[in-house]
Structure 1
Amino acid sequence: MAKDVFHQQVKKALIKDGWIITHDPFTIRISEAIKLQIDLAAENAIAAERNTEKIAVEIKSFIADSDISEFHTALGQYLN
């Protein structure tokens, strides 16, 4: 899986903000034949509680010739 141009910058920003990167990439298996990969998964302990916040981050840069084409690709991935 090719990483987005800003992958490392986003990862560093999350770490600087106190997030722990748990997966790079984060794979979700739908079935034996179908799996999705999200760029990063992270968790952050909530100071006043024992639970944790968890996020999945998909990184998009929109650097191709067509912003509309990039938007449609990103939207399609989000809808999946």
Structure 2
Amino acid sequence: MPSKDIFHQSVRTALEKDGWMITHDPLHLKVDDIEFFVDLGAERLLAAQKQGQKIAVEIKSFIGASEVTEFHLALGQTLNYRLALKKEEPERILYLAISQDTYQDFFSRQFIQDSLKEYQIKLLIFNSLNQDIVLWKE
């Protein structure tokens, strides 16, 4: 099983504070003979709609030597996880969780914004110190 990201507990706490119930830590998927481990699976009951909303969250810290390399890895992993979810748990929506600092310093760049739009990547932006969700970006 893969190791947990340094922000794993911060994101888990932020989701719980936001009313999400963690259902999987990690969320295990098996497609054909390939196993995937998405960092978190969560759901919450939407009172107005009376139906469960399910998400999967992949957490990335972007603390490596190259933010561009980290982005390439995160993008590829996110796209593969999204395909695996489509096959195994199509009701789940995948989010890439990044810190508020990473969002402001790196993800604000035009090329990164264009990539997110092109590949329809959904973001969960969190404050690691307060352990709060700052923004859900569709």
Superposition TM-score, scaled by structure 1 size: 0.94
Q: Which residue of 2 aligns with 1:62?
A: 62
- The one-letter code matched in structure 2 to 1:38 is V
Residue 12 in structure 1 maps to residue 8 in structure 2: no
What do residues 25-69 of structure 1 show as CA deviations (whole Å, max 9, x unaligned)?
0011101x2011100000011112321111000000100111111
Asked whether 1:45 is paired with 2:40, we answer no
After TM superposition, the runs of 4+ consecutive aligned structure 1 residues lying more than 2 A away are none
How many residues of Structure 1 are paired with residues of Structure 2 in the alignment?
79
Where structure 1 has 5 or more consecutive residues not aligned to the other structure, the ranges are none
Equivalent residue letter for 1:34: I
Letter of the 2:4 counterpart: K
Choose between structure 1 and 2: higher helix proportion: 2
Counterpart residue identity of residue 15, structure 1: E
Q: TM-score, normalised by structure 2?
A: 0.56
Q: Tell me the equivalent position of 2:125.
A: none
Give me the CA root mean square deviation: 0.8
